[in-house]
Structure 1
Amino acid sequence: MTVLPLLSLRVGPVAPLGARGTPSGIAKFEVQRAVELSQTGFSGDMQGDTAKHGGPEKAVHHYPHEHYAEWAQDIGQHPLLSSPGAFGENLSTAGLTENDVAIGDVFRLGSAIVEVSQGRQPCWRLNERFGRKTMARDVQSSGRTGWYYRVLQPGNVEPRNGLTLVERSTPEWSIARIWRIFYIDPFNRDELAGIAALDRLASSWRDYAARRLQSGRIEDWAKRLEGHEAAGD
Structure 2
Amino acid sequence: MKIVSTNIGERKEVVWNGEKIITGIYKYPTDKPIFLDLEEVKGDEISDRKYHGGIQQAVYAYSLKYYDFWKPLYPNLDWQLGMFGENLTVDDIDETNIHVGDTFKVGETILEATLQRSPCHKLGIRFKNMNIVKQFWNTTMCGVYFKVIKTGLVKVGDEFNQIKSCPENPTIANLLVRRKKEKGLL
- Normalising by structure 2, we get a TM-score of 0.89
Q: Can you list the C-alpha shifts for 1:173-209, whole angstroms capped at 9, x where unaligned?
A: 21122323333xx3xxxxxxxxxxxxxxxxxxxxxxx
The alpha-carbon distance between structure 1 residues 78 and 146, as it changes in their structure 2 partners (threshold 3 A), is farther
Aligned to 2:114: 117
Could you say what secondary structure the match of 1:121 adopts? coil
Matches of 1:31 and 1:161, distance apart in 2: 14
- Specify the code of the residue in structure 2 equivalent to 1:9: T
- Specify the code of the residue in structure 2 equivalent to 1:49: D
Aligned to 1:107: 104
Residues 28, 80 of structure 2: 8 Å contact kept: no
- Specify the code of the residue in structure 2 equivalent to 1:83: Q
Matches of 1:27 and 1:130, distance apart in 2: 10
- Specify the code of the residue in structure 2 equivalent to 1:182: R
Structure ID, larger Rg? 1
Cα distance, 1:18 vs structure 2: 4.3
The range that moved more, 172-181 or 116-125, is: 172-181
Cα distance, 1:94 vs structure 2: 1.9
Q: Which has the higher contact order (CA 8 A, sep 6+)?
A: 2
| Number of residue pairs matched by the alignment | 183
Q: How does 1:197-216 map to 2 (within 5 A)?
A: none
Q: How does 1:186-197 map to 2 (within 5 A)?
A: 186=181
- Specify the code of the residue in structure 1 equivalent to 2:127: F
Cα distance, 1:37 vs structure 2: 1.4
Cα distance, 1:76 vs structure 2: 3.7
Aligned to 2:51: 52
Q: Can you list the C-alpha shifts for 1:153-191, whole angstroms capped at 9, x where unaligned?
A: 1112222322211111236521122323333xx3xxxxx
Cα distance, 1:66 vs structure 2: 1.0
Residues 2, 92 of structure 2: 8 Å contact kept: no
Which structure: greater helix fraction? 1
The alpha-carbon distance between structure 1 residues 78 and 144, as it changes in their structure 2 partners (threshold 3 A), is farther
Q: Can you list the C-alpha shifts for 1:100-147, whole angstroms capped at 9, x where unaligned?
A: 211111011111111001101100001111111222121112222111
Cα distance, 1:220 vs structure 2: 6.6
Question: For 2:14, which of 14, 17, 29 is the aligned residue?
Answer: 17
Unaligned stretches of 5+ in structure 1?
187-217, 222-233
Could you say what secondary structure the match of 1:53 adopts? coil
Cα distance, 1:97 vs structure 2: 1.4
1:165 paired with 2:159, answer no
Q: What root-mean-square deviation, in Å, do the aligned CA atoms of Structure 1 and Structure 2 show?
A: 1.9
The alpha-carbon distance between structure 1 residues 143 and 160, as it changes in their structure 2 partners (threshold 3 A), is closer
The range that moved more, 88-97 or 156-165, is: 156-165
Identity %: 23
- Normalising by structure 1, we get a TM-score of 0.72
